[in-house]
Amino acid sequence: MVARAQFVLSVRPVRIGRGLVTSAAIPKGAVVTVLAGRQRSAAGVLRLWRTDPRRAANCIRSGRDTYLDSGEHFGAFSNHSCRPNAMVTRERGALFLRALRRIPAGAEITHDYATCLGADDVWTMRCDCRERGCRGRVERFDRLPAAVLRRYLAAGAIPRFILGTLEAD
Ligand SMILES: [Zn+2]
């Protein structure tokens, strides 16, 4: 599918810090935005942890050995939720945010960080998103509760290269 639709997004104060907010309703399945930034190797992200941990934590896995460093682009502001309304997809080598369900105007765009954490990713985060079913902790995708994993797989919300990290173990 060709990604065309782009919605009017802005970075605004949200419940915790800043987040990505849409000013228009976004239909289910539509591209919210392409995720821009700079590709870094896994080793490069490890180095970044020592100098700029906040920036390193915002890197989104983009391939088997690559991560997208969103810098100040939108990807850095899509917060985690245990009940997300968007998902990260890789299409023709680029990362996109797509609506997992219809997103109303004025809503914050969120995705589940676990869907971008491979079986070989060691990063974890405490979660206090307060959504129904909050897991309290964000970690590698293969530790998602079975029902959540099934739902994400059915929606195509876990990129292939993330699924592939299980075989690489
Ligand atoms: Zn949560």
Q: Where are the domains of the chain?
A: 9-163
110 alpha carbon – ligand 1 mean position (Å): 11
CATH number for 9-163 (one of 2.40.50.100, 3.30.70.1290, 2.170.270.10, 3.40.1160.10): it is 2.170.270.10
122 alpha carbon – ligand 1 mean position (Å): 18
9 alpha carbon – ligand 1 mean position (Å): 23
pTM of the model: 0.92
Average pLDDT over residues 20-44: 95
Average pLDDT over residues 128-139: 94
According to the model, what pLDDT value does residue 75 have? 86
- Average predicted confidence (pLDDT) for the chain: 92
Average pLDDT over residues 42-66: 93
The DSSP call for residue 11 is: E
According to the model, what pLDDT value does residue 1 have? 43
143 alpha carbon – ligand 1 mean position (Å): 14
Task: Decide: 38 and 66 in contact? Cβ < 8 Å.
Answer: no
85 alpha carbon – ligand 1 mean position (Å): 13
Q: Is residue 4 scored above 90 in pLDDT?
A: no
112 alpha carbon – ligand 1 mean position (Å): 9
136 alpha carbon – ligand 1 mean position (Å): 5
